[in-house]
Chains A and B, each alone.
Chain A
Amino acid sequence: MKKTMRTILPLSLAFMLLLQGCAGGKKADVPFTPKYDKDTEFSLTVAGSYGNFESLEAEFERFYEYYPNANLQYVTMDDYNNVISSALAGSEPPDIFMTNGAMIGNEMYDDMFEACEVLSDPSSGIDYSCIRDSLIRTTDSGDVVMLPIFTTSYGMLVNLDIFEKEGLKVPTDFKEFKDVCAKLKSAGYDSPVMGTDRFSGSGLFNCFVYPMFAYDVINNSDKVDSLNNLEPSAGELMRPALERLDEFVNSDCIDVAKCQEEITDEYDSVIMRFFEGDVPMMLAAGDVVSGTAKRESKSDAFSAHPFKYGFFAAPAGDEGGYFINSISVCFSVNKNSRNLDMTNEFMRFLISGKELRNMASLKRLIAPVDDFSSDEMYSALAGIPDKRSFSDKETGLLDPAVRQFRAAIYAVGNGQMSVDEAVAAYGSIPEE
């Protein structure tokens, strides 16, 4: 279980893939061969929550090389999670739409899943064997209705120039972390670590200790069911992570109030604050990292004084940090699509190692194929040993359990609960 996914240095893996295509027993990339007449005229709509989706639009352009008369459009939907079901039932339903693993098991999305094409059905013609098995989610009936497009992780953005300037090394375990933070603090950095104080997965507390908690869950798999059943007794499994969080927020490492004041959202504000250049470490999810490239030019401070930065695992554990690979975005196909054949044709084109890597590279996210991403931004993750590298799916946690953990860390991190209270309240901790 622990080794179902290997974290390999992106560059070395990229080299391997050059030789082998989809490694680990996967089929090598096969060049896309159009099934239909290239002059076929058709329009497809992809709906999602991203305000813009340039990496997908780049794939549209590549797809046009095979079908020059195609017209593909990405539509941003407001209040996506609430609207998607209506949109699928409405007069202008999308052909492809964004989904994610957290939606599975949530009744709210039953209608949505009802509209999904079963991609594991051979009739769809979609070969997703290049995607890592550990990232493939199925419904209770075992059907594959969503395919991961991007994956993410939780960790921190590190301003490497500050570390170089202060003569420090990026910490790899919690002890080093505290030492470094103390030195940075004394060097004038009021809050050596910052992040957005939000309930979501991008929240700073989640980014810091969720991988540690997931690691503990994987090592105590016998208690997963209790956690998923929200049994209060299972809350004890949160204790190590909550205590580490409590220690973190009460150390010199972070000024939570400062974070609340200066970082007003979980995306733009996180990036723009980091680009101010005075934050040594910014806790963030991979989705936030994906927005950095475009915002470099938007930041006057960064434009004036650019610096080197990278994504690292948060060193919450005594032995070191943990790398958890979570699904960021999946694509599902509307089985009622007015042009299902061509929708599947586009999916067939998109679900390949080559195209998924292209998209991940443009988006600065981690590809769901075996070589993650060739982006140097994530190169530091390669140094994490296999035993502390795993996928979200391996925890076996369902979304309600995850949300209870987030509620616990949100409460503890903000001083609303003690560790004991949070542990005891598992299953009934107020959520957002």
Chain B
Amino acid sequence: MGFILFIIIGYANIRAEESSKNGIIGFEKMTVTTNQIITNYLDDEQHLCDIWADYINSSAKDGTPMSAEDVMAFIRKASISSEIEGHLIFLDSPERAGLSTTAKVSDPDVYTVSYKKIDIFDNIENVVDSTDVVNLTRAYTNPMNGVQSIAFYNFVTVLDEDDGELKDALLMRVVPLSSLEQKLVFLKGEYENVEISLVDRDGNYVIHGRSFKNSNFFEYYKSYNAASAGEYEHVTREIAGGTGTMTIRNHKGEDCILSYTPLKTMTTWILLAYIPASDLVANRSIDWLLLAIATFGFMILLIFNSIVFMTYNRKLAEAAQQANEANEAKSNFLSTMSHDIRTPMNAILGLNEMILRDSDDDNIRMYSENIKTAGSTLLGIINDILDFSKIEAGKMEIINVDYSSASLLNDLVNMVQKKADDKGLSFNLDIDRNIPSILNGDEIRIKQIIINILSNAVKYTKEGSITFSAQAHKPEDKPGAVMIRVSVADTGIGIKPEDLDKLFVAFERIEEKKNRNIEGTGLGMTIVQRFLGMMGSHLEVESEYGRGSVFSFELEQKVVKWDPIGDFEEAFRRSLSERINYREKFTAPDARVLVVDDTPVNLTVFVNLLKQTGIRIDTAESGDEGISLFRNKPYDVIFLDHMMPDKDGIETLQEMKSIKDAPNASVPVICLTANAISGMREMYTNAGFDDYLTKPIDAERLELMLLEYLPGDKVTPVSDDNDDTDDYVLPDLLYGIKEIDVESGLNYCGDGESYVMTLGMYSASAEKKAEEIENYRAAGDIKNATVKIHALKSASRAIGALELGEFAAKLEKAGNSGDIETLDKELGELLSRYRQLASDLEPLNETE
């Protein structure tokens, strides 16, 4: 738009300049035309004067010279205009005196005329007596009538009646200057303000235009134009030299166009035409009008386009906003969903583990095993989705920590070995014994990458083997690092070359129809590739369709300890053997464990998971309560939840450690956490914990951890021929409480007895919990109020109060997002329902 306007303005200016030039050229032509008109006029008048002179002179030649009176009489007859006078001046008269055809207006009796004081005859001696030349005076005041006039003249011979001699005289045809000016009336149409002057070569006015000041044009120019001597010289030379046009300043400081040309018949006289420049450039208004119209049109177009673009932009912005919101909602949904699924999965897998332990029925055990497998798969899928949503949101970070390479490999093999065994696949290891023992990197993500690759290999291999290889070599240019090359080779279905590109596309699954029975989200390889990219590596794939594939990558890891891990395969085989032994149940009735968690249901699950071990377990629902028990009772192991209101796990631990006279000064403390990310071990170790256990709590891991930390003399391995059955009868009142789903509650809690006990605890602690929530809110402590609502959500779901749990979840979300209005509006109803449920369950405690 600006460019177009620039072009238009440039064009208009060019046109205006052309118009201006044309105007000046036209004006100059007008001057030449005027010159011709004046010349014609002067020629005509001179010709008439010459006719008079010829007649008078021919009379003299013929021997009948005319006297002065005769001449006057002749001219009076010959002249048809009363404005035109004839003056006859005797050249021998010192007074330049003579006769006039008309009397002096101030004295009708006087016909004599004198030019003594009228300086117009300076060059009279040089005047040529010729009919071809115009002999013209400057403009002067006619002494007979005081009118500004010009005079054409010629020489005549007349008879002096006094002495009868012939005398030379000057015959003048005196014409009012206004007669000449009338010839220029035609100019007024086109050039209203034009003024015409005639000057001689020295600039003296012959005919003086009204606007010209001074008595000399050059003097006028000098007075009103700041010209240097050189410029002044140039101007005088130009004007005296020929035809042309120039711009000068007039006495008002206005630019004026001056056109000049020498008279054709009197080249010593110069015609000057002068007009204000603004009169000539008036024609520019046409171009400016055109420009204004064009500009206006473009402005309208610009505004229209702007409106259209703004409308589209607004829609696009709205669409983008909606897309962002949808994406955010999707991410939030995935994240929330994953988290919310993980929480009940804790109960499912935990309780299922108890079924596996407690049930002797093979069918039930088989079902339970399937639940465990499906649950594990589901947990993996959820974890993938959670990771992917974090990667998409840019929230995924690589956190490097020191880790044990043997431990990492051990975990990997442990997790895959069983799957491979279950499918009858041979799981081969090729581990370089020179891999440094302690490396620095993101242990969790590396483990996740390799598990994904190994799991895929197992999933897509029907028969044959899986070979897991890890080789190390030192890069030459980085002395403190080692390159670990990991490869997984399988004898599976392989990938078609044309499908290789799909491998790393999110949610894209290769040959989906063929592989529909294989679980997966299509995210695994995408996440692997993203993680490797974040670590400066990439996944390489070699595959032969129908024969198998090799997935490999190379990672640079900083080396903390160069000690080689040695023969990992041998170590693994040994640990496997030990692990099989661990499958035997153990009892530790003399052992005493303290577990602190603000969620009662979690406490219940924890207690039930260890119920068969006979371990005496004390529970505490807050840090302070835990500290109180810590002071008074000796324990063998303490489990401490990290996230608790008021006093979190770390604060509680610090306080416990500060108590010098407690019986538990050297007791190991394990942190319970849901944060399964790299660096956790380091963080908790630094905080003073001896170890950590992730939630949902894996029963096997819990048992292994207890075997590690409990005193060996208190642990007794037991056989698994336990025939306990759950013959507990649920109270009838439970089935009359609409707020709870008994079946769900039983599933969460494992058996009827545990369920009733959990319900009792739920009821007994309700009033206290509700008051805590109210107190936190009243104090403006939204954070702790939300933590408590979170606990209420978990507890309610655990006892089968699903709707109440959802209600609490809604308010928890409101609290986390700072939506105080929703929180305040609906908190009362939540607590009311909570108290009502507790009240309905109150008989359970009375029964006890």
Chain A residues within 8 Å of B, Cβ to Cβ: 51-52, 54, 57, 61, 71, 73, 75-80, 82-93, 111, 294, 297
- Are B251 and A82 neighbours in the complex by a CB distance under 8 Å? no
Contacting pair B106 A77 (CB below 8 A): no
The 5 closest A-B pairs by CB, nearest first: A87-B146, A90-B145, A79-B117, A86-B146, A78-B141
Tell me the B604-644 residues at the A interface (CB within 8 Å).
none
Segment of B157-165, B208-216, B314-322 in the binding face: B208-216
Residue B222 is within 8 A (CB to CB) of chain A in the complex:
yes
User: Could you tell me if B222 and A297 are in contact, using CB atoms closer than 8 angstroms?
Assistant: yes
Q: Given A54-B213, A57-B213, A71-B210, does the pair A87, B117 have CB atoms closer than 8 Å?
A: no
CB contacts (< 8 Å) of B208 on chain A: these are 76
Q: Are A86 and B143 in touch, CB under 8 angstroms?
A: yes
Q: Give B145's nearest chain A residue, CB to CB.
A: A90
Contact between B147 and A78, CB atoms less than 8 A apart = no
The residue that A90 contacts in the complex, of B105, B114, B213, B251, with Cβ under 8 A, is B105
Specify which chain B residues have a CB less than 8 angstroms from the CB of A82 in the assembled complex: 114, 117, 143
Q: Which residues of B contact A77 (CB under 8 A)?
A: 141, 146
Other-chain contact of B140, A57, A73, A78 (Cβ < 8 Å): A78
Q: Which residues of A contact B117 (CB under 8 A)?
A: 78-79, 82
Contacting residues, chain B, for A87 (C-beta < 8 A): 141, 145-147
CB distance from B71 to the nearest CB of A (A): 22
Contacts of B140 on A, CB cut-off 8 Å? 78
CB neighbours (8 Å) of B252 from chain A are: 61
Whole-angstrom distance between the Cβ of A375 and the nearest chain B Cβ: 19
| Interface presence of B248 (CB below 8 A) | no
B119 in the interface (beta carbon within 8 A): yes
Q: Is the CB of A89 within 8 A of B143?
A: no
A64 nearest in chain B by CB position: B252
B127-163 CB mask vs A (1 if < 8 Å, else 0) is 0000000000000111111111000000000000000
Supposing A82-B117, A111-B106 touch, asked if A88 and B214 sit within 8 A by C-beta, the answer is: no
Contacts of A86 in B (CB 8 A): 104-106, 143-146
Q: Mark B87-107, 1 if CB is under 8 A from A, else 0.
A: 000000000000000001110
> How far is A51 from B176 in the complex, measured between Cα atoms in Å?
20
Write the nearest CB–CB distance from A82 to chain B, whole angstroms.
Answer: 6
A61 to B104 CA separation, bound complex (whole angstroms): 35
Chain B residues lying within 8 Å of A92, measured Cβ to Cβ, are 146-148, 176, 178
Contact B147–A91 (Cβ < 8 Å): yes
The verdict on A52 contacting B145 (CB below 8 Å), with A78-B117, A86-B106 known, is no
A187 to chain B, nearest CB (A): 33
B429: interface (CB < 8 Å): no
Give every chain B residue within 8 A of A79 (Cβ-Cβ).
116-118, 141, 143
Give the distance in Å from the alpha carbon of A92 to the alpha carbon of B148 in the complex: 8
A78 and B105 contact, Cβ closer than 8 Å, known pairs A87-B141, A92-B148, A92-B178: no
Q: Which residues of A contact B141 (CB under 8 A)?
A: 76-80, 83, 87
Shortest CB-to-CB span from A365 to chain B, Å, is 18
Chain B 200-223 interface mask (CB, 8 Å, partner A; 1/0):
000000001010011100010011
In whole angstroms, what is the CA distance A51 to B220 when docked?
13
B105-A89 in contact (CB<8A): yes
B143 in complex: contacting residue of A51, A54, A83, CB < 8 Å: A83
| Residues on A with beta carbons closer than 8 Å to the beta carbon of B114 | 82
- Of A52, A73, A89, A297, the residue contacting B210 (CB under 8 A) is A73
Contact status A52-B104, CB under 8 Å: no
Q: List the B side residues contacting A83 at CB < 8 Å.
A: 141-143, 146
Given the known interface contacts A77-B141, A78-B117, the answer about A54 and B214 at a Cβ–Cβ threshold of 8 Å is yes
Given contacts A54-B223, A86-B143, list 19 more A-B pairs with CB under 8 A.
Answer: A61-B251, A61-B252, A71-B210, A73-B210, A75-B148, A78-B117, A79-B117, A79-B143, A84-B146, A85-B146, A86-B104, A86-B106, A87-B147, A88-B106, A89-B105, A89-B106, A92-B146, A92-B148, A92-B178
Interface residues on B, range: 20 to 34
How far is it, in angstroms, between the C-alpha of A90 and the C-alpha of B208 when the chains are bound?
A: 20
Min CB distance B495 to A, Å, is: 97
CA separation between A80 and B118, bound complex, in Å?
A: 9
* Cβ–Cβ < 8 Å partners of B176 in chain A: 91-92
Once bound together, how far apart are the Cα atoms of A196 and B740, in whole Å?
138
| Distance in Å: Cβ of A29 to nearest Cβ of chain B | 26
Q: Please give, as numbers and ranges, the residues of chain B lying within 8 Å of A75 by CB-CB distance.
A: 148
Instruction: Take A78-B118, A83-B141 as given contacts and tell me if A89 and B146 are in contact as well, using a CB distance cutoff of 8 Å.
Output: yes
Listed by A's residue number, 16 A-B pairs whose Cβ atoms lie within 8 Å are A54-B223, A57-B213, A75-B148, A77-B141, A78-B119, A78-B120, A82-B143, A83-B141, A83-B142, A86-B145, A88-B146, A89-B145, A89-B146, A91-B145, A294-B219, A297-B222
Least CB distance, B103 to chain A, in whole angstroms:
10
In the bound complex, what is the Cα–Cα distance between A89 and B215 (angstroms)? 26
Identity of the chain B residue whose Cβ is nearest the Cβ of A110 in the assembled complex? B106
Please report the C-alpha to C-alpha distance between residue A294 and residue B251 in the assembled complex, in whole angstroms: 15
Question: Residue among A78, A85, A93, A294 with the most chain B CB within 10 A?
Answer: A78
Q: Chain A residues with Cβ under 8 A from B106's Cβ? A: 85-86, 88-89, 111
> How far, in whole Å, are A91 and B177 apart by their CA atoms in the complex?
12
A294 to B116, CA, bound (A): 28
Measured CA separation A111–B107 after assembly (Å): 10
Q: How far is the CA of A84 from the CA of B114 in the complex (A)?
A: 14
B contact residues around A91 at 8 Å (CB):
83, 145, 147, 176
Q: Is the CB of A52 within 8 A of B213?
A: yes
- Specify which chain B residues have a CB less than 8 angstroms from the CB of A84 in the assembled complex: 146
Kindly name the residue among B119, B120, B208 whose own CB sees the greatest number of chain A CB atoms within 10 A. Answer: B208
In Å, the complex CA distance between A86 and B149 comes to: 14
* A77, B139: Cα distance in complex, Å: 10
- Chain A residues in 8 Å Cβ range of B142: 83, 90
Closest to A93 in B: B146
Q: Smallest distance from the beta carbon of A291 to chain B beta carbons, Å?
A: 12
User: Chain B contacts of A54 at CB under 8 A?
Assistant: 213-214, 223
Chain A contacts for B215, CB-based, 8 A: 51-52, 76
Give, as a whole number of angstroms, the nearest-CB distance from B112 to chain A. 12
Residue interface mask B248-277, A partner, CB < 8 A = 1: 000110000000000000000000000000
Interface string of B218-230 (1 = CB under 8 A from A): 0100110000000
Provide the bound-state CA to CA distance between A86 and B148, in Å.
12
Interface residues of B in 65-115 (CB under 8 A from A): 83, 104-106, 114
B83 cross-chain contacts in A, Cβ below 8 A: 91
For residue A323, give the distance in angstroms from its CB to the closest CB of chain B.
31
Which chain A residues lie closer than 8 Å to B116 at the CB level?
79
CB distance from B230 to the nearest CB of A (A): 15
Inter-chain CA distance A247–B351, complex, in Å, is 152
Nearest residue (CB) in A for B118 is A78
- Alpha-carbon distance between A88 and B107 when the two chains are bound, in angstroms: 12
**Which chain A residues border B178 with CB–CB below 8 Å?**
92
Compute how far the CA of A79 lies from the CA of B178 in the bound complex, rounded to whole angstroms.
20
Report how far A84 CA is from B104 CA in the complex, Å. 12
A294 CB contacts on chain B under 8 angstroms: 219
Across-interface contacts of B104 in A (CB, < 8 A): 86
Complex Cα gap A71–B120 (Å): 28
Bound-state Cα–Cα, A88 to B141, Å: 12
Rounded to whole angstroms, the CA-CA distance of A80 and B140 in the bound complex is: 11
Contacts of A80 in B (CB 8 A): 141
A57 to B104, CA, bound (A): 30
Q: Least Cβ distance of A247 to chain B in Å?
A: 35
Residues of B within 8 A of A85 (CB): 106, 146
- Is the beta-carbon distance between A90 and B210 smaller than 8 angstroms? no
**Interface positions of B from 770 to 802, Cβ below 8 Å from A:** none
- Closest B residue to A80 by beta carbon equals B141
Q: Which residues of A contact B251 (CB under 8 A)?
A: 57, 61
The complex places the Cα of A52 from the Cα of B214 at a distance, in Å, of 5
Task: Give min CB distance, A155 to chain B, whole Å.
Answer: 26
Measured between beta carbons, the chain B residues less than 8 angstroms from A78 are: 117-120, 140-141, 143
User: Which residues in B have their C-beta under 8 angstroms from that of A111?
Assistant: 106
Q: Which residue of A lies closest to B204 (CB)?
A: A51
CB-nearest residue of chain B relative to A85? B106
Chain B contacts for A57, CB-based, 8 A? 213, 251
